[in-house]
With several copies, the nearest count.
Chain A
Amino acid sequence: MTGTEFMDIRENADIKIIDVKTDLSSYAASDLRQVLEDLLTEKVNKVVVNFKDVDHINSTAVGTLVGIAKRLRQNDGDLKLCNLASTLTRTFNLIGASSVVEIYESENSAIAAF
């Protein structure tokens, strides 16, 4: 699993870090789901998603992240998000998803929180 056109995957010890390189509306959301599903299949259970290069997210992509976060927790892992622009945080807050998925300022703080 080395990533896709829209996502790079790096690792830091047992944590996988996904760099999203595209805005996340419905088209790219299915790509994100695929990448995360593949990591679940590989029994990865600690994942950080880096939103540094993302300007837009919609409810389909937020829902995907919520679903994956729940499943990772069932495996004693977790999904953490970092580097969100304020418009993205607003979308998570409006939906109420920030109560389910943890959002961190930086990649380091997301990693440290595992």
Chain B
Amino acid sequence: MKKDQIELNVPSDVFYLESVRVFIGKLSETLRFSKKRIADIQLALDEICSNAVYHGSKCVSSGIQLQISVDTRSLEIVVSDKGREGMQDWSTPEKLAEIQANRSPTSERGHGLYLINCLTDDHKLQANTVGGTDVTAIFYRDVKQEKG
């Protein structure tokens, strides 16, 4: 199946995530996701990119990368950061289970990964070769596969 590839590299600064969000929103709109799905995709990506900036970047110039693949079946987005000290190996199944177990609706932080889990059709967190994290988010274009 033919896949179209898009790549977007921005500095590790939440300032630029506004522009990333409208890009993802318009892309999802042209791919004919529903209004509700577009909001979900934008929020999931906002959380992934905010994490890449806050937890996965040494400084602004570290940069984060989005690799976007579009085919007839899905929109797949891989967000990669370069990591920073003390943040290695955070995405092992044990660590992730611990993060999830500790989440409380009444706490100020710690809701990002939970939302990513709720809002994507599928997702994956993997340590990458440069010491950072690759977060893959998949959204199926078939409305029937939509989650809650």
Interface residues of A (CB under 8 A from B): 23, 25-27, 56, 58-60, 62-64, 66-67, 70, 87, 90-91, 94-97, 99-100
Contacts and interface: CB of A to CB of B under 8 A. Distances in A.
Contact of B115 (A64, A67, A94, A99): A94
Given A25-B46, A27-B14, A27-B15, A56 B21 contact: yes
Contact of B18 (A23, A62, A70, A95): A23
Contacts of B115: 59, 91, 94-95
Contacts, number: 68
A99 B106 contact: yes
Given A94-B114, A97-B106, 4 more contacts: A25-B50, A26-B46, A59-B47, A95-B105
Contact of A26 (B14, B108, B118, B119): B14
A74 to B, nearest CB: 14
- In this complex, the interface size class of chain B, counting residues with CB under 8 Å from chain A, is 20 to 34
Contacts of B109: 59-60, 63
Interface of B: 14-15, 17-18, 21, 30, 36, 39, 42-43, 46-47, 50, 53-54, 105-109, 111-112, 114-115, 118-119
Contact of B21 (A25, A95, A97, A100): A25
A100 B111 CA distance: 14
B130 to A, nearest CB: 23
Given A56-B43, A87-B36, A95-B115, A27 B106 contact: no
Nearest to A96: B105
